Structure 1
Amino acid sequence: MSTRARDRSHEVADPRRGPRGLLAGSGQIAVAMMLMNIATYGFTMTAARIIGPVPYGAFFALMNLVMIVSVVMLGLQATAARRISADPAHVGQIEREILRVASRASLLLGVVLLLGAPLVNQLLDLDSMPTAMLAAVAAVPMTMTGAQMGILQGERRWRELAIMYVLSGVPRLVIGLALILWRPTEFVAFLGVALGYYAPFLYGLVVLRHGRESGDTHDRHGLLPVVKEAVLNSQALFAYLALTNIDMLVGRSVLDSHDSGLYAAGLIVSRAVMFLPQFVVVIAFPSMSTSRNPARALAGSLLVVGGLGGACVLATAMFPDLVLVFAGGKEYDEVSALLWVFAVLGTTMSLLQLLVYSVLARQGTVSMALVWVALGAVVAMATTMVSTVGDLLAVVLSVDLVLLAVLLPISFVKLRQRSTVQ
């Protein structure tokens, strides 16, 4: 093994590198993800104003499709980060196999979306085949980026990972805004999104351009085991994604248009609170995947996420009118008294996200199934027990809290058992 490869292997094997290194990494990822979210939100809101309601509806529908497809990207990222963190001696083999799986998965997704463009065009009522085909153009680099991010995350290369997060949002804003100012259509708006996905992908090619030395190899890091884990991770993340988004879909069917609009305004607060501590998940996941006290890593991360969420709940309860400005304005004043509860929901969802990643870290199949059970419970209860905004909020929050209460002790027990055994 070359000197460079040995040095990198040692770096991966000793991930903590002191509190200062961890704090620096956390700060970099936090700022990068904040910039990514601001840029993404900025382009989405700007596009809504520039291209108009009808084209924006088509654009937003296609964005939701890409969000669903992105579970493959997230599954590959989690697989790469977990395997490299848990078994750094095989980092060379893991990197090669992850990139190999990602390239095949991205091409497969691209082909499926390309062939399925007529169906996408019809289901989303796009009335534009070229626009429907852009989903395939976006899916290929997006999926590859997931694998690249997972490798950097597993190796704790926070600076390069932070740059990739920034490139996942800012180029979209710059390119997309220039394009829709030139031609304000849904095709051009999503073309900006699709082109934006190539910026982090190309940067990933640069930072990972030096291949690993062969080093140690093991059958558990072969092609089929990696594919199996990526599929398992993707379905678990899809279940979480569905659980945190199903209430809006159900709300459209069980509430009238006025109340569903109020609920959607409240969800702006929930989403903001949920996304705020995402950097904690990125930083904590590699530590939860190792055998060195993963339970302590989970406990510390829960405290940080809970603390940030609690501060948001308190601020929302104290200044509901100010928060309402960012949740739609005075037209949604009827929901202002519930905004702090929506903040509680956002905090609960962020804590659940951390626990879901702890499940991925230990590959807990039973715990993964519990997320699907919770999803079914929300649908069943919401369609039979809901008639107001408060009812729907109570159902969703209750199910999420029960799932949180069940997963919390299971995760701690399993993580402690794993660290003891290993």
Structure 2
Amino acid sequence: MGMANALGYVVVMLLSRPLGPGEFGGYTALSTYGVLLSIPAGVFQVVVARRLSGDDPAEPTSALRPALFVGCGCFVVTAAISPALAQWFELPSFWAAVLLGGMLVPMMVTGCLQGILLGRGRLRALSALYVVNAGTRVVAAACCAVIGADVTGVFAAMLLAGIATAAVGAWLCRAELRALPRTARLARELVRSNSTLAAYIALINVDMLLSRHFLSAHDSGGYALASTFGRAMCWGTQFVALIIVPRMQGTRPTRTLLQASAVVTAIGVVGFGVVSISPQGWIEAAGGADYRQFGDLALLCVVLGTAWALAQVWLFSEMGSNTGWLSRLTWLVIAGEVVAISVHWHASPAQLVWVCMAGALIVAAAGFVQVVVRHQATALPDESVIVVADAPRA
């Protein structure tokens, strides 16, 4: 999975140079829209994994039928508003948005397939599917860079990559697909988990939409590449958050959660150390000399990405335990970020980073405080926070 995340970063490197800051900003903005619509894919993965973990009382399912329904619905909506999206994001053609909508169908299916592999504990196969997903995108990006494709061509290539990934995933899960029912009663779980995952996705992407609006085209493109260093921290640690989802139904979920947070923090420290060696050199290697001035911003974004990754662990754990308190707080934090940036802190890219960093740390800290509150409510002063939080309750 770490290799898959590294390959995802290679895609950015391959596309940022030929597109340039202006077009790359438009590509990133439309991709951000796609990320928001692809939220159900991650939810299907979590719900299916929880159903197959053996600790959830609900019936197992592959959820393929509702996934196809949701994917087709997202495609229809995106195709209908594609002219408006093209104008809003300054795209060369509305076909870029239509192709993006088409990508959502195989993405939903792949989410279910990843959930099957995760729930069955087939982590090697899951990692292989992640690598295939990233690898096909790298091939698509490389082809686009060679032929000089514009944004529309890039999304056409990514659609083919998504279809190939779904096909490989179906082959890996062929035995489970024959045995598992394709549908089940998922509406309540999907809505609850959608809210949690949507909150996280919005938390790590709202800055891109705001930067495109408040910053110049050049600065928004530079911000898009610099923020990729932060998102790389999320990609690089997502395997930690995903692995804890089935374990939140176990006997000691809080110990697992705190250990996961420690691992994420350690990875963030290593990432900061690596990028701090030469921030300008790293971002120039990623996008070329046009982006060199954003080197210090990239280093700051690594810290932001670590804060995002910590929030990711706590929010994913909430999906694993099927609760919703932290997601509601996250939506309030996002609203606060939008207001703060819109009203005052949008004079420079760094101001956007600081506001988003504060929001992510609030979410992560709130998750930890929740554990402390449980400890204080137990009236067992000699027990540790971990033991008390994990103790069974009547």
TM-score class, shorter-chain normalisation, is 0.7 to 0.9
Q: Which runs of structure 2 are paired with 1:362-401 in the superposition (5 Å)?
A: 362-386=321-345, 387-401=347-361
Letter in structure 2 aligned against 1:230 = L
CA distance in 2: counterparts of 1:185 and 1:234, whole angstroms: 33
Matched, 1:95 2:61: yes
Q: Report the counterpart of residue 284 of structure 1 in structure 2.
A: 244
CA contact (8 A) 1:121 1:132 kept: yes
**1:175 to partner: Cα distance:** 4.2
Q: Which runs of structure 2 are paired with 1:400-411 in the superposition (5 Å)?
A: 400-410=360-370
**1:78 to partner: Cα distance:** 1.3
- After superposition, the Cα gap between the structure-2 partners of 1:355 and 1:31, relative to the gap in structure 1 and judged at 3 Å, is same
Letter in structure 2 aligned against 1:144 = V
1:62-108 deviation per Cα after TM superposition (whole angstroms, max 9, x unaligned): 43332222111111111112222253676xx4224x22321322233
Q: Normalization by structure 2: what TM-score?
A: 0.82
CA contact (8 A) 1:86 1:291 kept: no
**1:39 to partner: Cα distance:** 4.7
Choose from 41, 65, 81 the match for 2:12.
41
Matched, 1:351 2:310: yes
**1:229 to partner: Cα distance:** 1.4
CA distance in 1: counterparts of 2:221 and 2:147, whole angstroms: 32
Letter in structure 2 aligned against 1:163 = A
Letter in structure 2 aligned against 1:139 = L
Q: Comparing 167-176 with 334-343, which one deviates more in the overlay?
A: 334-343
CA contact (8 A) 1:359 1:411 kept: no
**1:255 to partner: Cα distance:** 5.2
CA distance in 2: counterparts of 1:185 and 1:318, whole angstroms: 34
**1:364 to partner: Cα distance:** 2.1
What RMSD over aligned residues (CA atoms) do the two structures have, in Å? 3.5
Task: State, as a whole percentage, how many aligned pairs show the same letter.
Answer: 26
CA contact (8 A) 2:22 2:218 kept: no
Matched, 1:223 2:188: no
- After superposition, the Cα gap between the structure-2 partners of 1:137 and 1:336, relative to the gap in structure 1 and judged at 3 Å, is closer
1:366-388 deviation per Cα after TM superposition (whole angstroms, max 9, x unaligned): 21101101101111222233244
Letter in structure 2 aligned against 1:249 = L
**1:34 to partner: Cα distance:** 3.0
CA distance in 2: counterparts of 1:179 and 1:335, whole angstroms: 25
Unaligned runs of 5+ in 1: 1-28
Letter in structure 2 aligned against 1:398 = A
Q: Report the counterpart of residue 203 of structure 2 in structure 1.
A: 243
CA distance in 2: counterparts of 1:34 and 1:84, whole angstroms: 29
CA distance in 1: counterparts of 2:178 and 2:99, whole angstroms: 37
CA distance in 2: counterparts of 1:263 and 1:373, whole angstroms: 24
CA distance in 1: counterparts of 2:108 and 2:343, whole angstroms: 38
Q: Normalization by structure 1: what TM-score?
A: 0.77
Q: Comparing 137-146 with 240-249, which one deviates more in the overlay?
A: 240-249
CA distance in 2: counterparts of 1:227 and 1:177, whole angstroms: 40
Unaligned runs of 5+ in 2: 376-385
Q: Report the counterpart of residue 303 of structure 1 in structure 2.
A: 262
- After superposition, the Cα gap between the structure-2 partners of 1:192 and 1:303, relative to the gap in structure 1 and judged at 3 Å, is same
Q: Which runs of structure 2 are paired with 1:53-68 in the superposition (5 Å)?
A: 59-68=27-36
CA contact (8 A) 1:42 1:173 kept: no
CA contact (8 A) 2:241 2:316 kept: yes
CA distance in 2: counterparts of 1:125 and 1:261, whole angstroms: 13
- After superposition, the Cα gap between the structure-2 partners of 1:410 and 1:332, relative to the gap in structure 1 and judged at 3 Å, is same
**1:157 to partner: Cα distance:** 0.6
**1:349 to partner: Cα distance:** 0.8
3-state SS, counterpart of residue 121 of structure 2: coil
CA distance in 2: counterparts of 1:236 and 1:376, whole angstroms: 15
Count residues with an aligned counterpart.
Answer: 381
**1:306 to partner: Cα distance:** 0.5
**1:303 to partner: Cα distance:** 1.1
Q: Report the counterpart of residue 20 of structure 1 in structure 2.
A: none
CA contact (8 A) 1:111 1:136 kept: yes
